[in-house]
Amino acid sequence: MVASEIRALFAVAARPEVVSLAGGMPYVSALPLDEVGRMVGDLVARNGAEVLQYASAQGDPVLRERICEVMALEGVQASADDVVVTVGAQQALDLVTRIFVDPGDVVLAEAPSYVGALGTFASYQADVVHVPLDEGGLIPAALRETLERLRREGRTVKFLYTVPTFQNPAGVTLTTARRAQILEIAAEYDVLIIEDNPYGLLGFDGDPMRALRADDAERVVYLGSFSKTIASGLRVGWVLAPHAVRAKLVLAAESAILCPSSFSQLAVREYLTTQPWREQIKDFRELYRERRDAMLESLDAFMPEGCTWTRPAGGFFVWLTLPEGLDAKAMAPRALAERVAYVPGTGFYADGDGRRHMRISYCYPEPHRIREGVRRLAGVVEQEIRLRDTFGGVEHQRSPGGVHTPGPDTV
C-alpha cells in the first residue's frame, strides 16, 4: 500500500477559490434532504432496537430483495440469497480479490482503470495486466491477444475487472456487440469477470444498458453501489455472485467487518420502500446531463488544438488527452496555482503510464463553475504548449513501482 502523491494537492483543491474537476462526488444536495431526514428519524423512532444493533454478515434480507429489484432494471434476474451487502462497492472489490487472488496471480484490467481497484489489486500482490479500451469500451481483439499470450507464458489469470458502463475514468461504454464478444472470450479461456457497475442507471439517453451479469450468471460477479444513486456517505454496496462464491464472500465479510452497518442498510431499505427512488434517479440523470453538456461545450470552446476527449453518455467523467510532449502529472501543481484541479492519468494505470491523460469530472460543480474551471484549465494547457514549443516536450517514462491508494477526491 502506497500513499498517493497527489493527495496533498487535493487538500488545496478543496479550497473554495479552486474549481475542482477532480472528485467523483455525487451531488447529494439534489436529494429531498428534509424528507430523507424525516424518514431516518421515523426509522430510528420506530425500529431503533434493530437499526442500532448488529446484523448478519450477508446483509438485511429485505434490502437484498430490493437490490434485486434495482438490478432487474439492467436485465439481471437474481435471488436475494446470492446477494451480499457490503460497505460500498469498494469493500465488495476487496472481498472478491481476497477470495480469488494469490500473490503473483494475473488480474486483467482495462487501460485506464479505476484507481481504487488498482490499489486493491496491489495490496493483494496481484500482477495487473492492462487491456486497452477505446470509444467503444474494452477491445475484444486485444483481450483475446492478451489471454493467448498469457496462456503461452503459463500464467494464471484469476479474473477480468471491468467497468463496462460509463467507465471510470474514461467515461466510455462497452457496446452491446462487444459485450457478447467479451462473454464469449471469457468462456473460451475460462476467465471470471468482475463487473463493477456503480453508474449503470445514470445514463443520459434511453433505458439502462443490459448488464454483463444478465447474460452469464455463472461467470460474472456483479458489484453494485448506492453511492451514486442515493448517497455515498451511507456506504452501502453489494456483490451478486454464484452461490458457491457467495458463501465464501460471507465468510470473508465476517472476518473483515463482522457485519455491515445496520443503520445504513435499513436507511437504504426504507428509502427504496417509501421514497420515489426511480424519479429521483431521473432527476440525477437530468442534473448530470446538464453538467456533462456544460463541460463538453466548454472543452469545445476553450481547449487548444491537439487536445482530445471522450464524450460520455452517462456517469461522471471525461478522459482528456493532452498534445504530445505534455505531462498532466507535472502540470497539476501549476493548474492548482491557476485555481483548477483534476486527476492526472498516471493514477489509473498500474505501470505508471498515462502521463498525457487526465480525468476531469462534471458531477459536483455547478455548470457555471464547470465552464470557469475548463477555461482556467485550457489556459494552463496553452501555457504548457508554449513552453514545449520553446524548450522541447517532456519524454514520458513510466513511473517505477507502486499503485497509489485513492482518497475521497479521486474515487
CA distance linking residue 251 with residue 236, whole number of Å: 18
pLDDT at residue 343 greater than cutoff 80: yes
pLDDT tens string 256-297: 999 999 999 999 999 999 999 999 999 999 999 999 999 999
pLDDT (0 to 100) of residue 72:
98
pLDDT tens string 24-69: 899 999 999 999 999 999 999 999 999 999 999 999 999 999 999 9
What letter would DSSP give residue 210?
P
pLDDT (0 to 100) of residue 193:
98
- Helix pair 33-51, 262-274: axis angle to 10 deg: 130
What the block records as the C-alpha cell of 60 is 438485511
CA distance linking residue 286 with residue 79, whole number of Å: 31
pLDDT (0 to 100) of residue 92:
96
pLDDT at residue 407 greater than cutoff 90: no
Residue (of 168, 162, 142, 213) closest to 312 by Cα position: 168
Cα dihedral 88, 94, 97, 99 in deg (nearest 10): -100
pLDDT at residue 250 greater than cutoff 90: yes
pLDDT (0 to 100) of residue 373:
98
pLDDT at residue 397 greater than cutoff 60: no
The burial of 120, by beta-carbon neighbours within 10 Å (0-12 exposed, 13-18 middle, 19 or more buried), is given as: buried
Q: When comparing pLDDT for 3 and 357, which is higher? A: 357
Start-end of H helices in 230-366: 243-257, 262-274, 277-302, 328-337
pLDDT (0 to 100) of residue 37:
95
pLDDT tens string 132-170: 999 999 999 999 999 999 999 999 899 999 999 999 999
pLDDT (0 to 100) of residue 28:
94
**Model confidence at 352, in pLDDT bands (50, 70, 90)?**
confident
pLDDT tens string 65-106: 999 999 999 999 999 999 999 999 999 999 999 999 999 999
Residue (of 316, 215, 403, 143) closest to 195 by Cα position: 215
Residue (of 90, 132, 103) closest to 348 by Cα position: 132
Start-end of H helices in 174-215: 176-189
Q: How many CA atoms lie within 13 A of 186 on its CB side?
A: 28
Rg of the chain on CA atoms, in Å: 21
CA distance linking residue 121 with residue 138, whole number of Å: 19
**Model confidence at 316, in pLDDT bands (50, 70, 90)?**
very high
CA distance linking residue 167 with residue 372, whole number of Å: 25
The burial of 49, by beta-carbon neighbours within 10 Å (0-12 exposed, 13-18 middle, 19 or more buried), is given as: exposed
pLDDT at residue 5 greater than cutoff 90: no
What letter would DSSP give residue 294?
H
pLDDT at residue 8 greater than cutoff 80: no
Summary mean pLDDT of the chain = 93
Helix (H/G/I), strand (E/B), else coil: 126: coil
pLDDT at residue 7 greater than cutoff 90: no
pLDDT tens string 355-395: 999 999 999 999 999 999 999 999 999 999 999 999 887 66
What letter would DSSP give residue 203?
B
pLDDT (0 to 100) of residue 120:
95
Residue (of 108, 107, 111, 110) closest to 124 by Cα position: 107
pLDDT at residue 3 greater than cutoff 90: no
- DSSP conformation letters of 38-86: HHHHHHHHHHHHHHTS---SS--HHHHHHHHHHHHTTT----GGGEEEE
pLDDT at residue 408 greater than cutoff 80: no
CA distance linking residue 33 with residue 16, whole number of Å: 23
Cα 247 to chain center, whole Å? 25
CB 366 within 8 A of CB 298: no
CA distance linking residue 23 with residue 344, whole number of Å: 12
CB 90 within 8 A of CB 237: yes
Cα 210 to chain center, whole Å? 18
Q: Which residues contact 189 (CB under 8 A, 6 or more apart)?
A: 147, 151, 157
pLDDT (0 to 100) of residue 154:
94
